Structure 1
Amino acid sequence: MQVTARNVLKGTIKHIHLGTVNAEVTLEVNPGVEITAMVTKASVDKLQLSDGKEAYAIIKASHIMIGVD
């Protein structure tokens, strides 16, 4: 797999919550560190995503914001 994104995090799928059209896929990239992505249900099927499967969080963003209280 080759991508242009600089932030690629390998992890394990912990949970998939299917909605009507989309799905929330939660990936554990380190113990206790999770990232959740919104994807289409078609993508879940095409990539054969399931709990326990290894996958990658590929993050490509032009802006990342940080906030504090």
Structure 2
Amino acid sequence: MAISAINVRNQFKGTVKEIIRGSVVSEVDVETPYGIVTSVITTRSIDELDLKVGAEVVALVKSTEVSIARI
């Protein structure tokens, strides 16, 4: 599958580092040159995308809100 056009400016190429499967939703950790990006997606999507640890992927980040907490 090739991505020919997409309206997401923040794209990070990386490798799947860990998958924590749940019955409905799962967590996917992607190691990028900038650090780890974690995505929560449906377990069905993991199966349909055939995601496995070590797979090369692109993390597409699109958000309308960024929260900040003081430390």
TM-score by length of structure 1 reads 0.89
- Once the two structures are overlaid, the 10-residue window that deviates more, 48-57 or 22-31, is 22-31
1:56, CA displacement in angstroms?
Answer: 1.0
Aligned to 1:51: 53
Aligned to 2:15: 12
Aligned to 2:41: 39
Mapped to 1, the partners of 2:42 and 2:29 lie a distance apart of 14
Q: Flag the structure with higher strand content.
A: 1
TM-score by length of structure 2 reads 0.87
Gaps of 5+ in 2: none
Q: Percent identity?
A: 34
| Matches for 1:21-40 after TM superposition, within 5 Å | 21-30=24-33, 33-40=35-42
Runs of 4+ in 1 over 6 A off after TM superposition: none
